[in-house]
């Protein structure tokens, strides 16, 4: 059936990339499975309505392409839909983990999903379920805790992002409840929080038993909630990069744990399989073979799309990448799209726009009050950043010295678009 519906060359186009100005041409001429908006959006500081306009434009182009298959559109909704102007920003995972409040995290997940869907986004690259073991790791704020049990408890955000599945839903199969929900992504598989010396993209050198009981444990919670996707880690495990680790990605995650969604690479993670990170010099053929054969189903990055596809086609024709591996990847991607209802409802739901920024909904207003947060609020004229305010008490004088005092973008939290 898959071979009849999707020709071989199009099956090889299981691709997800940053949204360039030529996205419409790429969708219609090269058929891609997904389009990553990332932080850029339709333009800098775009409100959610303009995100919805652009998302609908891309979906319309996909429906008019040769196969007419709608797109997965994803963003890094790390602490709220932190890409669009006027949305609600929540604390980072490290702060939420300190609350130990699973009910709160589920409310945040529901709000994040709603605001993303208002802008036509159906995929959130969240949550991060890393178990941080060294505070020197410069992404430790993305971890809920050093305790895998707490991380697993906070991973219940998946149920609110995707919706609550029925009890009889098949184990490990993806699930998205409706148009107020998004595809979730458990990341970064696996061991990203346990690298030696806390080095980002470093090497996690531990026994398999420790990897399984500490760093892999939260993924069991994610799979039990029918998480749709899992993102591979930039890091290595005992010297082998995760993006090329067939044993962990395929034998363990897909086969042993029964994960039936798709595995997506991290941003340009396929590039990092070779020492040369320059996209112009990356060895596409070698990187593609390593990553795809290991179990990567969708490639996330800004590589040369045509060169990548040509290289992958030649690998299949040479027998170096089995066509069965391509079929499996496409089947997993389509399974997620069907589960998410993207075929039935590819376009944005404009009725949700009035709810963005915790407005118009008693549920969201209550959550806003509970967190004592306001939607992002910036002054276009004075360039004043008013979302987070520092209040210093009980001192007549403070001197704050920093090289970046006049550079707002250097002082903002990570994963937050900035209007300046």
pLDDT tens across 144-197, in order?
999 999 999 999 999 999 999 999 999 999 999 999 999 999 999 999 999 999
Give the lowest-confidence range in 25-39, 63-77, 80-94. Answer: 25-39
By DSSP bridging, strand 203-204 and strand 262-264 are unpaired
Is the model's pLDDT at 366 over the cut of 90? no
DSSP letters spanning 63-110: HTSSS-PPPEEEE--SSSSTTSBT------HHHHHHHT-HHHHHHHHH
Single out the catalytic residue among 192, 266, 271, 297: 266
In the prediction, which pLDDT does 1 show? 45
- Tell me the average pLDDT across 302-326: 86
Quick check: is 221 catalytic? Answer: no
Distance, in Å, from the CA atom of 228 to the CA atom of 222, rounded to the nearest integer, reads 9
Binned at pLDDT 50, 70 and 90, residue 309 comes out as: confident
Mean pLDDT along residues 395-406: 55
| Phi, psi for 239 (deg, rounded to 5) | 95, -10
- Work out the mean pLDDT of the chain and round it to a whole number: 83
The model's pLDDT over 236-292, given as tens digits with 9 standing for 90+, comes to 999 999 999 999 999 999 999 999 999 999 988 988 887 645 445 457 788 889 999
Its pTM stands at: 0.86
pLDDT grade, residue 390 (50/70/90)?
A: very low
Domains detected in the chain = 2-355 (3.20.20.300)
- Residue pLDDT, tens place only, 47-72: 999 999 999 998 998 899 888 999 99
CA–CA separation, 154 vs 148, rounded Å? 10
């Amino acid at each position: 059936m898959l071979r009849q519906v999707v020709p071989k060359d199009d099956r090889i186009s299981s691709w997800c990339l940053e949204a360039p100005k030529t996205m419409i041409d790429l969708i219609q001429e090269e058929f891609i499975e997904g389009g990553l908006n990332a932080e850029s959006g339709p333009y800098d500081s775009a409100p959610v309505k303009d995100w919805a306009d652009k998302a609908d434009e891309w979906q319309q182009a996909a429906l008019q392409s040769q196969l007419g298959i709608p797109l997965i559109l994803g963003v890094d909704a790390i602490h709220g839909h932190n890409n669009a102007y006027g949305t609600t920003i929540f604390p980072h995972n490290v702060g939420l983990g300190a609350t130990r409040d699973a009910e709160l995290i589920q409310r945040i997940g529901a709000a994040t999903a709603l605001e993303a869907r208002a802008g036509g986004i159906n995929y959130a690259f969240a949550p991060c379920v890393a178990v941080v073991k060294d505070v020197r790791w410069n992404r430790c704020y993305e971890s809920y805790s050093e305790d895998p049990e707490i991380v697993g408890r906070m991973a219940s955000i998946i149920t609110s992002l995707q919706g609550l599945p029925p009890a009889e839903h098949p184990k490990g199969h993806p699930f998205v409840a409706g148009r107020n929900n998004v595809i979730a992504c458990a990341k970064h598989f696996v061991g990203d929080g346990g690298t030696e010396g806390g080095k980002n993209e470093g090497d996690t050198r531990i026994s398999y038993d420790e990897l399984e009981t500490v760093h892999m444990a939260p993924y069991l919670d994610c799979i039990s909630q029918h998480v749709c996707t899992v993102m591979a880690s930039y890091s290595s495990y005992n010297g082998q990069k995760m993006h090329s680790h067939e044993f962990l990605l395929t034998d363990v995650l897909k086969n042993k744990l029964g994960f039936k969604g798709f595995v997506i690479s991290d941003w340009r993670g396929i590039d990092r399989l070779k020492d040369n990170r320059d996209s112009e010099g990356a060895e596409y053929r070698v990187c593609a073979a390593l990553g795809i054969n290991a179990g990567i189903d969708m490639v996330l990055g800004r590589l040369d799309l045509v060169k990548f596809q040509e290289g992958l086609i030649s690998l299949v024709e040479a027998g170096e990448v089995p066509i069965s591996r391509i079929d499996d990847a496409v089947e997993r991607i389509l399974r997620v799209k069907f589960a998410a209802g993207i075929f039935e409802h590819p376009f944005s739901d404009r009725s949700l726009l009035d709810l963005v920024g915790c407005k118009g909904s008693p549920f969201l207003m209550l959550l806003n009050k509970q967190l004592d947060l306001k939607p992002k609020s910036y002054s276009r004229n004075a360039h004043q950043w008013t979302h987070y305010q520092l209040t210093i008490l009980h001192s007549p004088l403070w001197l704050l010295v920093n090289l970046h005092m006049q550079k707002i973008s250097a002082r903002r939290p990570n994963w937050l678009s900035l209007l300046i």
